[in-house]
Chain A
Amino acid sequence: MAWVSISAVAPLFEGQEGVQSVYGPRSPQAEAILTLSNLVFVSGAVIFVLVMGLLAWAILSRRRHPPFRKTTFIALGGFVFPAVTLGALMVYTVLVSLRISTPPGDEALQIHVTGHMWWWEVHYLGPNGERIETANELRLPVDRPVSISVTTKDVIHSFWIPSLAGKIDMIPGHVNRVAFTPTETGITRGQCAEYCGEQHAKMAFYVVVKPADRFDDWLSTQARPAPAPITEQYQAGRAAFISEGCGSCHTVRGLAGANGEIGPDLTHVGGRLSIGAGWLNGSVGNLAGWIASSQHLKPGNRMPSFDRLDGPTLRALAAWLESLE
């Protein structure tokens, strides 16, 4: 009966399968969670209507006594019914929980994500156990299990990709794990799901699921150091990056002195879909705007607004960063 009801309710949520929605599951784990929530929602609604119906009957009916014995009513409605429904629901919930929390095997892709106020540090483990760092974006191969270990450098965050998996807390000094298998290529979006401070809402990231071979290409690009500047403008931009001291907070692998860890690794920032943690499109215009007014765009983040650069220097810096693909 519940299944019929779910399909009756489903059209309510059609068109909601957006880039960040629990109603557009793209992994078996997210699908199991959606089915469970629909079941809870529908059975809760049925019971609510039933109870309200009984209440209305009790108020409106002129009969002074129920048509059945009080003790039977209390025994059935107050004990047997809740025990059976809640018991069944609990068994089902435990089964779903087991299914979505089964640790993946050795073939799973290992990723570490560390929360910061307000961005995401992402490490991939390469085939030889080497660390490949990126930020604010996950790229995953399709149809391969992924195991993501999460922790945080500062306050408690919650790592949540609604269309791929359930929420998992990021706790300082503790590693939690979430595993899932994306089954569709495409772009989806994740979001911090636990209030972590002023810019909690602007703590998001994109997840790009690709065919396996394209993922491998991408990962090997990420493992490489930043490319050398090929134009005069890029050279000027790189010089500005060094002279403004950007390297004390940001890492650009292959650039001497740029090994800061306070901000995101920028080695391949030009290839990312967004800057400012899912907040602005990754484009040269947004990069320039972000450098000049990051405190206006995302007040309270750790990066000062570099609003004393002259126009050509700002453009060169943004252009060089965009060239780091």
Chain B
Amino acid sequence: MMIARRDPRPGRSRTLARPSLERAPARAAGAALLIMLALAGCEDSEIPQGMRIVGGDAQAGASFIREYGCPACHTIPGIRSADGIVGPPLTEFALRAFIAGQYPNTPDNLVRWVMNAPDMAPRTAMPDMGIPEDRARHIAAYLYTLR
């Protein structure tokens, strides 16, 4: 399938070597191993330098996201029953250019936003939930795993 997609012209793909059936399981296992290795390294290596949160622990962030009730308003991948429709979905949050459409999506801005959104955008519907800075850092770290 991969081969056909690379070169959609009929006939051409036949000239390329096709994986033999005997080798397929080994290849699949190899690919799975590569994917697992890539995912294992995800936390550190795949988050760009500019988006690392000092002192942020994504796993702790996930539990604070549940505790502070973010799921009631936001759709957040990886958080159980986080399918809120009040605020914007946070899918691929690390790829977003702006926070609330007005602040560049930098770690500093994100931590400030999580701690006290109305302070930055007085018309926002997102309440100030009194989240202390260390917890906001964990939450931000989680949001930057969403790619």
Please, which residues of chain A bring their CB within 8 A of the CB of B124? 311, 315
Q: Which residue of A lies closest to B123 (CB)?
A: A311
Interface residues of B in 92-147 (CB under 8 A from A): 118, 122-130
- The smallest C-beta distance from B127 to any residue of chain A, in angstroms, reads 5
Q: Which residue of B lies closest to A292 (CB)?
A: B86
Bound-state Cα–Cα, A296 to B83, Å = 9
Q: Which of B10-18, B19-27, B67-75 sits within the interface?
A: B67-75
Bound-state Cα–Cα, A288 to B74, Å = 12
Interface of A is mostly: helix
* Contact for A318 among B84, B85, B127, CB less than 8 A: B127
Q: Is the CB of B125 within 8 A of A283?
A: no
Interface residues of A in 98-115 (CB under 8 A from B): none
* Contact for B85 among A288, A293, A309, A311, CB less than 8 A: A293
- The smallest C-beta distance from A117 to any residue of chain B, in angstroms, reads 21
Q: Is the CB of A292 within 8 A of B127?
A: no
Given contacts A281-B67, A293-B86, A296-B84, contact A315 B72 (CB under 8 A): no
- The smallest C-beta distance from A115 to any residue of chain B, in angstroms, reads 24
Tally of contacts, chain A with chain B, CB under 8 A? 68
Q: Is the CB of A289 within 8 A of B72?
A: yes
* Contact for B127 among A307, A309, A315, CB less than 8 A: A315
Bound-state Cα–Cα, A285 to B67, Å = 10
Interface residues of A in 273-321 (CB under 8 A from B): 280-281, 283-286, 288-290, 292-293, 296-297, 307, 309-312, 314-315, 318-319
Bound-state Cα–Cα, A49 to B27, Å = 48
Q: Is the CB of A310 within 8 A of B69?
A: no
Chain B interface extent, by class: 20 to 34
Please, which residues of chain A bring their CB within 8 A of the CB of B123? 310-312
Bound-state Cα–Cα, A39 to B72, Å = 43
Please, which residues of chain A bring their CB within 8 A of the CB of B125? 288, 292, 309-311, 314-315
Please, which residues of chain B bring their CB within 8 A of the CB of A315? 118, 124-128
Q: Is the CB of A288 within 8 A of B68?
A: no
Q: Is the CB of B72 within 8 A of A290?
A: yes
Please, which residues of chain B bring their CB within 8 A of the CB of A283? 67-69, 129
- The smallest C-beta distance from B79 to any residue of chain A, in angstroms, reads 13
Interface string of A165-201 (1 = CB under 8 A from B): 0000000000000000000000000000000000000
Q: Is the CB of A285 within 8 A of B73?
A: yes
Q: Is the CB of A289 within 8 A of B67?
A: no
Bound-state Cα–Cα, A297 to B41, Å = 35
- The smallest C-beta distance from B90 to any residue of chain A, in angstroms, reads 14
- The smallest C-beta distance from B63 to any residue of chain A, in angstroms, reads 12
Please, which residues of chain A bring their CB within 8 A of the CB of B68? 281, 283, 285
Given contacts A284-B129, A318-B127, contact A289 B122 (CB under 8 A): no
- The smallest C-beta distance from B67 to any residue of chain A, in angstroms, reads 7
Given contacts A283-B69, A310-B123, A312-B123, contact A289 B86 (CB under 8 A): yes
- The smallest C-beta distance from A76 to any residue of chain B, in angstroms, reads 55
Bound-state Cα–Cα, A272 to B83, Å = 24
Q: Is the CB of A285 within 8 A of B69?
A: yes
- The smallest C-beta distance from B23 to any residue of chain A, in angstroms, reads 45
Given contacts A311-B123, A319-B127, contact A288 B67 (CB under 8 A): no
Please, which residues of chain B bring their CB within 8 A of the CB of A284? 127-130
Please, which residues of chain B bring their CB within 8 A of the CB of A289? 69, 72-73, 84, 86
Q: Is the CB of A285 within 8 A of B85?
A: no
Bound-state Cα–Cα, A288 to B70, Å = 10
Q: Is the CB of B70 within 8 A of A285?
A: yes
Q: Is the CB of A288 within 8 A of B118?
A: no
Given contacts A311-B123, A312-B122, A312-B123, contact A281 B85 (CB under 8 A): no
Supply 4 further A-B pairs (C-beta < 8 A) apart from A289-B86, A319-B127: A284-B130, A285-B73, A285-B127, A288-B72
**Contact residues of B with A, CB < 8 Å?**
67-70, 72-73, 83-86, 118, 122-130
Please name 10 pairs of A and B residues whose Cβ atoms are closer than 8 Å in the assembled complex, sorted by A. A280-B72, A281-B67, A283-B67, A283-B68, A284-B130, A285-B126, A296-B85, A311-B124, A312-B123, A315-B127
- Top 8 nearest A-B pairs (CB, nearest first) are A289-B72, A286-B69, A311-B125, A285-B69, A289-B73, A292-B86, A284-B127, A286-B72
